[in-house]
């Protein structure tokens, strides 16, 4: 496991909030020269602490402004049912996150679609076709207060 010091944590925090920051700007923020900052970033990448760089896209521009939290229970909890569900769910473009959870439900999915009509179509044509689903309960995101 990689040991992170305070400067590493600062680098990660700055990169998390502004992924396109230059090494020069980043070095100024963490109080190092450019070369050591660059080497630290590379070490964090090589060690897997930094997994990838991404962008945040306006969901309206992608026509995915309706977000639903979809909670799913399976009929059975054997390996075959779990693997079958997971293998099916990862191929659905509308599912942007999937969490295997403990509690009243087995999975929590974040679904992003254009509107309610498209969500209904997703449920009928895709989700309901996956075997071993016992129950689906949906909640709809009204606003996002915090995202990290």
CATH of the domain at 39: 1.10.10.10
Residue 31 sits in which domain range? 6-46
Q: What is the pLDDT of residue 124?
A: 97
Residue ranges of the chain whose pLDDT lies below 70: none
How many angstroms separate the CA atoms of 33 and 67, rounded? 43
Number of domains into which the chain is organized: 2
How many angstroms separate the CA atoms of 36 and 54, rounded? 23
Specify whether 78 is located in the same domain as 41: no
Specify whether 74 is located in the same domain as 113: yes
Is residue 111 assigned to a domain? yes
Beta bridge partners of 99: 108
Q: What are the phi and psi torsion angles at 69 (to 5°)?
A: -95, 115
Tokens of 58: 């306006």
Tokens of 40: 């630290």
Q: What is the pLDDT of residue 97?
A: 97
Q: What is the pLDDT of residue 50?
A: 96
Q: What is the pLDDT of residue 148?
A: 77
Specify whether 72 is located in the same domain as 134: yes
Is residue 110 assigned to a domain? yes
Longest dimension (CA), the chain: 57
Q: What is the pLDDT of residue 17?
A: 87
Is residue 147 assigned to a domain? no
> Could you tell me the pTM of the whole model?
0.81
């Amino acid at each position: 496991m990689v040991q992170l010091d305070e400067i590493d944590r600062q680098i990660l925090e700055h990169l998390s909030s502004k992924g396109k920051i230059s090494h020069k700007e980043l070095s100024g923020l963490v109080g190092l020269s450019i070369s050591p900052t660059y080497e630290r970033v590379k070490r964090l990448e090589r060690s897997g602490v930094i997994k990838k760089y991404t962008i945040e896209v306006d969901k309206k521009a992608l026509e995915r402004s309706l977000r639903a939290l979809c909670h799913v229970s399976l009929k059975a909890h054997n390996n075959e049912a779990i693997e079958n569900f997971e293998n099916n769910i990862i191929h659905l473009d509308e599912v942007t996150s999937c969490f295997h959870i403990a509690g009243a439900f087995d999975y929590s999915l974040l679904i992003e679609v254009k509107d309610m009509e498209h969500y209904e179509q997703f449920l009928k044509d895709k989700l309901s076709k996956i075997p071993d689903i016992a129950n689906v309960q949906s909640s709809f995101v009204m606003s996002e207060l915090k995202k990290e």
